[in-house]
Structure 1
Amino acid sequence: MDKLVKSIAESGFFRAFVLDATKTVQTAQDKHHTLSSSTVALGRALIANLILASNQKGESKVTLKIIGNSSFGHIISVASNKGEVKGYIQNTGVDIKKTATGEVLVGPFMGQGHFISIVDYGIGNPYTSTTPLISGEIGEDLAYYLTESEQTPSAVGLNVLLDDKDQVKVAGGFMLQVLPGASEEEIARYEKRVQDMPALSQLLQEENPTQAILAALYGEESYKILAEEPLSFHCDCSRERFEAALLTLPKADLQAMKDEDHGAEITCQFCGTPYTFTESDLEDLIHDQA
């Protein structure tokens, strides 16, 4: 089962969130039929948004928009602080690797753009914060966002490892943050551990990946587990929602769909689920508008 583990150093000056999101990202790939680079980019975005949402209180949701001007186009994700996430990438077909190593490339195909976080607390007036994309690698962009927008120095690692058939093998990540009161000496120790830690893809393949990442981040220093929360890809779309959207269209548009197209099919961008509306369904909607 995918999960996010929240922890804090015994000193109280550092905290780490670590995630095993393998099934979540596998589900996203299955639903969107993404090729290698698009799979990794979308997966990283979903993991990044799960980190952002997990830090919110109440019944809040975070919409993450990674707006690039290159091959991927836009990546949009919505996550709740209950560990549910959905998302899509505009161009699902980017499939580029380094010839020598087979490494899947992401950053060069994001281009210039913005990292936008919109937090909705369910009480109106969502809070929006924007930083520029600094690399397109998403993990680095998230670390920059947290440091600049939330004023919390952060180290972030995100990884989606594919197998030899370009299917998601493992996926997950971590966020390590410096809290007020940490000394320069302590910060230097943590920085060195992050620099020296094994590759995230290697840690994610351990029998207990979240424990392996925590051990790499904290080393010999004591820490406490604050919470363990389940993660999943979950879309809350429904036929009723799309019916409501159709009802907002002018009656003439609904009539044209009925007479010319003999029905309508709407596909949810977030999960790929199709919803079919027959001529009879459209006639009922037209009647409801009367």
Structure 2
Amino acid sequence: MSSFDQLHRFIFPDASVRGELVKLSDSLQHIVHNYEYPVQIQQLLGEMAAAASLLTATLKIEGEVGLQIQSEGVVRYAVVNATHEQTLRGVARWDESLTSLPESFAELTDKAILVITITPHEGERYQGVVALDKPSLSACLESYFEQSEQLPTRVRLMTDFSDPENVRSAGMLLQVLPKSASTSEKDSLSEFEHISTLTDTLTSEEMFSLPVQDILYRLYHQEQVEMYPAQAVSFACTCSRERSAAALKNVEKAELEAIIAEEGAIKMNCQYCHTEYRFDSIDVEAIHNGHAGGATQPQ
């Protein structure tokens, strides 16, 4: 069975370190092929998708994690959202006037920040901001964990775009278990550094060609490793006709009717999956009378 589009959790019980490994294929295609992105933007979205999956898996909540890059550089913004059910969606905007794009992460995201938003189904939303002032997204995420969680964390992100029709990305995350960070900090850090050094020997070719069990054996055959059941990862968009109608309810009825008179219908297009929702005058009447869904179906 393919190990792509799956998240694998594992733990080093003797070292008080936990790990995650995710490999994306089909779920990534939906994100990067939703728009005619240059390959540099596709690769950035690929890294962000793997990172979002890893970050969501570190949380013990039901809800959503959003990674958003805001930049004054080539990339205007890039967003990937992941849910606790490991569904992903993402979108990016860049300076389309450029005929060629830089290859490096730093040049793509000049004067940029990364906003990490955690939105639980129950409880308050949390938002953290980290400057994208390091040469890679993985290094910036490590800095985020150092600042916000104060837990030693190692992040590796990889992409394989050798086949434009079968793009792939992957990520690994290692982290000291919270309970051990305070009780045996010196030993935990030593063990964490040892495991991190082993992890750094993994090549991109091995990541994308080997099954997950073989990757873990190749890296940690001298360590005790316990694996948990894999969790499927997929693309899914949370847009709906009801959500679009709820947004229209906040717009004056007369303004909506004017748009319909001029254009024949109100058209709302989801930037993540490109589903179009159309609303006519009957729908607007229903929406402002408390029937949020309206009458017609998405086109």
TM (norm. structure 1) is 0.86
| Cα 1:259–1:149 shift into 2, 3 Å | same
What amino acid maps onto 2:115 in structure 1?
Answer: I
State the 1:183 CA deviation.
4.6
Alpha-carbon distance between aligned partners in 2 of 1:40 and 1:34, rounded to the nearest angstrom: 10
Alpha-carbon distance between aligned partners in 2 of 1:203 and 1:97, rounded to the nearest angstrom: 28
Partner in structure 2 of residue 109 of structure 1: 108
8 A contact 2:117–2:128 mirrored in 1? yes
Partner in structure 2 of residue 189 of structure 1: 194
Partner in structure 2 of residue 177 of structure 1: 175
1:13-92 aligned at under 5 Å gives the runs 13-91=16-94
Partner in structure 2 of residue 271 of structure 1: 273
Find 2:255's aligned residue among 253, 262, 267. 253
| Cα 1:261–1:154 shift into 2, 3 Å | same
| Cα 1:121–1:161 shift into 2, 3 Å | same
Partner in structure 2 of residue 129 of structure 1: 128
8 A contact 1:34–1:92 mirrored in 2? no
Is 1:198 aligned to 2:202, yes or no? yes
1:187-226 aligned at under 5 Å gives the runs 187-195=192-200, 197-199=201-203, 201-208=204-211, 210-226=212-228
Alpha-carbon distance between aligned partners in 2 of 1:4 and 1:275, rounded to the nearest angstrom: 33
Tell me the SS of whatever aligns to 1:15: strand
State the 1:31 CA deviation.
1.9
Tell me the SS of whatever aligns to 1:31: coil
State the 1:277 CA deviation.
2.5
- When the two chains are superposed, the root-mean-square deviation of aligned CA atoms in Å is 2.5
| Cα 1:51–1:95 shift into 2, 3 Å | farther
8 A contact 2:27–2:234 mirrored in 1? yes
Tell me the SS of whatever aligns to 1:38: helix
TM (norm. structure 2) is 0.84
| Cα 1:176–1:271 shift into 2, 3 Å | same
Q: Which runs of 5+ in 1 are unaligned?
A: 99-103
Find 1:235's aligned residue among 237, 245, 248. 237
Tell me the SS of whatever aligns to 1:259: helix
Alpha-carbon distance between aligned partners in 2 of 1:248 and 1:238, rounded to the nearest angstrom: 16
State the 1:151 CA deviation.
0.9
Identity of aligned residues (%): 24
Find 1:9's aligned residue among 12, 31, 37. 12
8 A contact 1:268–1:274 mirrored in 2? yes
Q: Which moved more, 1:275-284 or 1:135-144?
A: 275-284
Alpha-carbon distance between aligned partners in 2 of 1:207 and 1:92, rounded to the nearest angstrom: 37
What amino acid maps onto 1:146 in structure 2?
Answer: F
Partner in structure 2 of residue 101 of structure 1: none
Partner in structure 1 of residue 294 of structure 2: none
Q: Which runs of 5+ in 2 are unaligned?
A: 292-299
Runs of 4+ in 1 over 6 A off after TM superposition: none
| Cα 1:24–1:264 shift into 2, 3 Å | same
8 A contact 1:194–1:217 mirrored in 2? yes
Count of residue pairs brought into register by the alignment: 280
